[in-house]
Amino acid sequence: MSGYEYVSSVSLVNGSGLGLLSGFDNVDDVQLFKDKSTVSIKSINSLSKFFQSISIFQIESFIEISSIPIYFVLSKPFDVFTENEKTLDFFKKIVKLSDIDNNNKRYYGKIGLLSKCITTIEKIDNENFNKEKNFEILNDEIDKNDFYLLFMVRYHENKIKIQALPLYLTNFLKKKLKNIKKNHHQQQPLDSCIFIENDINIKIIDPLDKFLEKKKKKAVLTTTSTSSAKSLDDSFESIQKQQKQNNQIESKNKSFNLKKIDLPSFKKNLQNIILSELRLRGITNNNIDYKDLFYNTYKCTLFSFRKKLQTNQDIQIEQIQDTVEKLLNIFE
């Protein structure tokens, strides 16, 4: 097949009895291909070899694609092909249920089909697999429930195509736990611990840090007028005392606000999301534009959330992810 390289064939079983897919208890000949333009990407190659050792996935449920955190994604999606008529009918039904709307510039369907690996994997070439820093396997024997495929419908060049996005959920949690062990004295909750890839050496000058530092230096002292019944000396002494108290209170409040903003945690979330999105797009640190894309996306995202960070507003991961994706679409 021109432009594509064969990876593996998998089968789907409707073990959960999903009613919307009644009549499709078994779906065979789901062929996974990778775009030849991604052959040079090491993570894609290692993942392709790995998927040759697994063959059966159980259909779990339909899920809103945007609800999948981007840091669960292992690589760019595989393209799906089949020569089986029943399998073709199965994916035609998926297309109808995907809620795709290319007229509104939504190139991926809103709904995807999530399936988990149920093939028992006894052992893999762990030494070679661990060389890829993008996804580190911590054990020789992998839990069969760790790997998922998210089947998505894409509208591309006036054609409908099916893609399978590989996910590895437990790996992310393992990395989080490793991070907690390293930083146990900070007592960080699990959801606030985000891993950052080790091969990124980018010195970032944070404009938000500068802004907060300047604002802190320009703190305005407030004064409170005293009773007119007091003498001038008493009033002056009282004002000085009140100024000192107000200054101490203001300083405490500023320290408290800066602490509640939890800027380091926000930065780690942001860096991780940018790195994952770049990996998903096939942009590696060997790419000429890699550092520029990372730095500009990082800087612009920080700037876009500056008001929420200053006012200590809650910021959801989905909001950061959406901003990063939009910025990278512009920069690319």
Domain that holds residue 309: 196-332
Domain count, the chain: 2
Residue type, 14: N
pLDDT tens, position by position, 38-66: 554 455 565 666 666 677 888 888 888 87
* 3-state per-residue secondary structure call for the chain: CCCEEEEEEEEEECCCCCHHHCCCCEEEEEEEEEEHHHCCCHHHHHHHHHHCCCCEEEEEEEEEHHHCCHHHECCCCEEEECCCHHHHHHHHHHHHHCCCEHHHCECECCEEEEEEECCCCCCCCHHHHHCCCCCCCCCCCCCCCCEEEEEEEEEECCEEEEEEEEEEHHHHHHHHHHHHHHCHHHCCCHHHCCCCCCCCCCCCCCHHHHHHHHHHHCCCCCCCCCCCCCCHHHHHHHHHHHHHHHHHHHHHHHHHHHHHHCHHHHHHHHHHHHHHHHHHCCCCCCCCCHHHHHHHHHHHHHHHCHHHHHCCCCCCHHHHHHHHHHHHHHHC
Q: What is the pLDDT of residues 205-264, one digit of tens each?
A: 445 555 556 555 555 444 444 444 444 455 545 555 666 666 555 554 444 333 344 778
Query: Is position 62 within any domain?
Result: yes
Average pLDDT over residues 317-329: 87
pTM of the model: 0.48
Higher pLDDT, 38 or 98: 98
pLDDT higher at 306 or 53: 306
pLDDT bin (cut points 50, 70, 90) of residue 167 is confident
Phi and psi (nearest 5°) for 54?
-125, 145
Distances (CA, A) of 191 to 68, 176, 209, 265, 317: 15, 8, 24, 10, 10
Domain boundary among 123, 148, 177: 177
Question: In this predicted structure, what is the pLDDT of residue 91?
Answer: 92
Average pLDDT over residues 176-187: 44
Could you report how far apart the first and last alpha carbons of the chain are, in Å?
A: 28
How high is the pLDDT of residue 31? 92
* Judgement on whether residues 99 and 241 belong to the same structural domain of the protein: no
Q: Which pLDDT does position 83 carry in this prediction?
A: 92
pLDDT (mean) for 188-208: 36
* Mean pLDDT to the nearest integer, 80-92: 92
Q: What is the mean pLDDT of the chain?
A: 69
Is residue 251 in a domain? yes
How much of the chain, in percent, has pLDDT values that exceed 90? 8
Higher-confidence residue of 65 and 170: namely 65
Residue 190 lies in a domain: no
In a domain, 305, yes or no: yes
Same domain, residue pair 135 and 32: yes
Q: Is residue 163 part of a domain?
A: yes
- Give the domain CATH number at 131: 2.40.290
Determine the pLDDT at residue 135.
39
- Higher per-residue pLDDT: 262 or 8: 8
Q: Are residues 57 and 169 in the same domain?
A: yes
pLDDT at 254: 43
Q: Are residues 20 and 85 in the same domain?
A: yes
Q: Bridge-partner residues for 253, per DSSP? A: none
- Among 177, 211, 245, where does a domain finish? 177
Average pLDDT over residues 184-198: 34
